[in-house]
Structure 1
């Protein structure tokens, strides 16, 4: 094919909806087919003469070419962005050690400094190579002082070379006295630091190193000579400590590298030894996902909480530290202190539906008019446990007819005190805060319901057991769909749970019909996927699980997009303050164009009320 034919072929494939990968494969197949069709010695056919095109045809072709180029570029760009957006890097302890060595060696080569000095400098700047290089070349002395590094450490001390003397065979090795333990050892049993020249016996060095490692110090191990700040190279440390202490030293180095590195986070899941880097953005949160299935927020290192940010979650936690049950009862029933005190004095709550019940006369048998369930007035246990003893006795307290009273004997005085305090605190609030708390108590039960369902999530070990069982009973090797399904289920529950917090902070005037519809759709998909995964391995429908996994991810994306759409409708003081600042700094000329000075338009009044 000539170049134009190839372009026409690709354009036709694009219009038919083929992906770029399929187009390239088809092009290669056509080339290979044409190559085999041409036999040796066969004269090449004379190309047909291309008919002359009009200006309009040429213009249309140029426009089509432009659309084609834009399509290919956008498709390639979206493919790269999708790969970046849907993956983060998980590091094992071995990977972490290799990464630390690689970074340290690179800086050591660039700056021509010893390995252990490069490691200390990187640790000082939280392992940010660009920041280290910028500070080093800008003001090296200032950086070394800030990192507590002696300049002599950059250039190892040169020792004078001694001429080798041939000693007699019968001569004993030369003995030296250690200045720490004052014992005599052969010269070969001593080690000297090149940076400072201090020399001690290997036993003293080893004991000193092991004591520092036991304290958790690794990069900061310095010379044991009093007043000396020279850093001891890791090669000397590993040479003079025991094998058991070497393992601790390596482990502490790895932990210190991650703890001081702002680009890496440990996975907080119990028993997980992996670290995570390169978090991805989900709505307003940076989320990192570990191999164990745990998802964390990159900033606060708590459970991943898209679509809300850490600031909103902190506000929610601060407000929900109160007794939400008591506060909810106050708001939803519009009680005042006097009514609450009368109810506490004259009624008992139904043990099944919590409706208040007043006893005028009669036996211990009570039946709630709301839920129609029966219970004992004295102990509030179901009446089924009292049928054998009659209506005028309570076997729980061994009480007879003489103990019958219409006034309730409460055992929940703490609950009453909490409700009373909640009413008093609620009545002191202004209208805005009352409305906000009313929204909180509306969405808190929904939030708590999803949070409770997440407590029974399947662990990574249970997924591995299911994978093994799937292979043994159904000979299915590729079980990646199980990991994807459980991860999608967890992500869906997180998004649904924290979307209720987002609703609680939205402006009361914001339309949330679509928001509620997307929440209901996601909730329905979560239920279906949970039921599909709950089936025994023998009857597990793999096609259905894959379909629901994809559907759950789609619903999550739709919900997060809707959250982004309503991003400017949050009910916060910051927006009011920003609005006042804009109005205050408006020039008279600009104000006169919109209306008279000091006159507020109806839409402005509405914005200020929000």
Structure 2
């Protein structure tokens, strides 16, 4: 060892000071070290400690049970869904309209028409409206600056209804944004007929080839006090459910409930979105057939096609062959 290395190591040893604990450890002999290790390992009762020691540290697992239960893998047919009655559906519509009305700065009637046109998809509607307001409103037959709520006006001497050819100063008429005017009685009869045919928000102006929509406010104004008004509201609700891809009517006879299920269509190939209505019926949200767990929709479709083909084959055999005697 060189003189430099010797001096360097001497300095290290001189600078380092042992603590009392470390000094004690250095002075322990083999038997003392073994005894200290034994005392640290075993408890005073001579065993390896109480079995509850680990439980005291880790707990009994009860606190983790809700988390573990939440992590349990769902079965392919266990999906989240919600059931709505007609009143709930109307409230859901109103909530969506109320949310978008201030964003678009339009009337409630116009906002509702646009939502119907865009199948209640809020983001595409907002994007289209911000990019081209006029073109978006034109999709529902409205000008870029829609007028206020429609009202029945009183005609003048020059007014003549183009349907019944009645007119005069005392005749009430309805005029839409397109400018076409028809008397209140003719418009009421026209809208009532459309409602009985099952239409709702898509009812257009009574003038031939006019694309302007009558609007919800105008329809309800003309149908006020008539039995067709309730039918009109029912048609609106049915349109709402039909236009939403995440909703479907319960297929059970005379059932008025609708079911909402957020499972995307892309997942129907490996899931069986089975939902249960309040009426007691269970059906597959994907194919709208009765509950067919555990078979997936594509397998059920193939089976139905096979049964149909077998039935057609059987009918052909019966029609074209003779029975064996």
What range is the shorter-chain TM-score in? 0.5 to 0.7
Number of residue-to-residue matches in the alignment: 253
Is the counterpart of residue 215 in structure 1 residue 197 in structure 2? yes
* 1:72, distance to aligned residue in structure 2 (A): 8.0
Note the alpha carbon deviations across 1:476-527, whole angstroms, 9 max, x for none: xxxxxxxxxxxxxxxxxxxxxxxxxxxxxxxxxxxxxxxxxxxxxxxxxxxx
Partner Cα separation in structure 1 for residue 308 and residue 69 of structure 2: 48
Checking the alignment, whether the CA contact within 8 Å between 1:116 and 1:232 is kept in structure 2 is no
Any residues of structure 2 matched to 1:16-31 within 5 Å, and which?
Answer: 16-18=60-62, 20=63
* 1:267, distance to aligned residue in structure 2 (A): 0.2
Match of residue 318 from structure 1: 305
Query: Counterpart of 2:259 in 1: which secondary structure?
Result: strand
Among residues 274, 283, 286, which one is paired with 1:287 in the alignment? 274
Unaligned runs of 5+ in 1: 1-10, 21-70, 159-172, 328-412, 421-610
Change (3 A) 1:204 1:93: same
Is the counterpart of residue 246 in structure 1 residue 229 in structure 2? yes
Partner Cα separation in structure 2 for residue 126 and residue 140 of structure 1: 18
Change (3 A) 1:244 1:17: same
Change (3 A) 1:309 1:136: farther
Note the alpha carbon deviations across 1:400-422, whole angstroms, 9 max, x for none: xxxxxxxxxxxxx94995999xx
Partner Cα separation in structure 2 for residue 91 and residue 418 of structure 1: 55
Any residues of structure 2 matched to 1:203-602 within 5 Å, and which?
Answer: 203-241=185-223, 242-278=225-261, 284-323=271-310, 414=318
Among residues 50, 59, 82, which one is paired with 1:15 in the alignment? 59
Note the alpha carbon deviations across 1:377-424, whole angstroms, 9 max, x for none: xxxxxxxxxxxxxxxxxxxxxxxxxxxxxxxxxxxx94995999xxxx
TM-score by length of 2: 0.64
Partner Cα separation in structure 2 for residue 248 and residue 236 of structure 1: 15
Checking the alignment, whether the CA contact within 8 Å between 2:204 and 2:211 is kept in structure 1 is yes
Checking the alignment, whether the CA contact within 8 Å between 2:83 and 2:277 is kept in structure 1 is yes
Checking the alignment, whether the CA contact within 8 Å between 1:288 and 1:298 is kept in structure 2 is yes
Partner Cα separation in structure 2 for residue 184 and residue 275 of structure 1: 46
Greater Cα radius of gyration, structure 1 or 2: 2
Partner Cα separation in structure 2 for residue 192 and residue 321 of structure 1: 54
Query: Counterpart of 1:151 in 2: which secondary structure?
Result: coil
* 1:16, distance to aligned residue in structure 2 (A): 2.7
Q: Which of the pair is proportionally richer in helix?
A: 1
* 1:284, distance to aligned residue in structure 2 (A): 2.0
* 1:318, distance to aligned residue in structure 2 (A): 2.2
Query: Counterpart of 1:269 in 2: which secondary structure?
Result: coil
Partner Cα separation in structure 2 for residue 188 and residue 107 of structure 1: 37
Query: Counterpart of 1:200 in 2: which secondary structure?
Result: strand
Checking the alignment, whether the CA contact within 8 Å between 1:117 and 1:231 is kept in structure 2 is no
Partner Cα separation in structure 2 for residue 78 and residue 186 of structure 1: 74
Partner Cα separation in structure 2 for residue 218 and residue 129 of structure 1: 21
TM-score by length of 1: 0.36
Partner Cα separation in structure 1 for residue 199 and residue 320 of structure 2: 54
Partner Cα separation in structure 2 for residue 284 and residue 86 of structure 1: 9
Match of residue 113 from structure 1: 106
Match of residue 6 from structure 2: none
Partner Cα separation in structure 1 for residue 309 and residue 148 of structure 2: 65
Q: CA RMSD in A?
A: 3.8
Unaligned runs of 5+ in 2: 1-54, 150-154
Among residues 77, 83, 91, which one is paired with 1:90 in the alignment? 83
Change (3 A) 1:86 1:214: closer
* 1:155, distance to aligned residue in structure 2 (A): 2.9
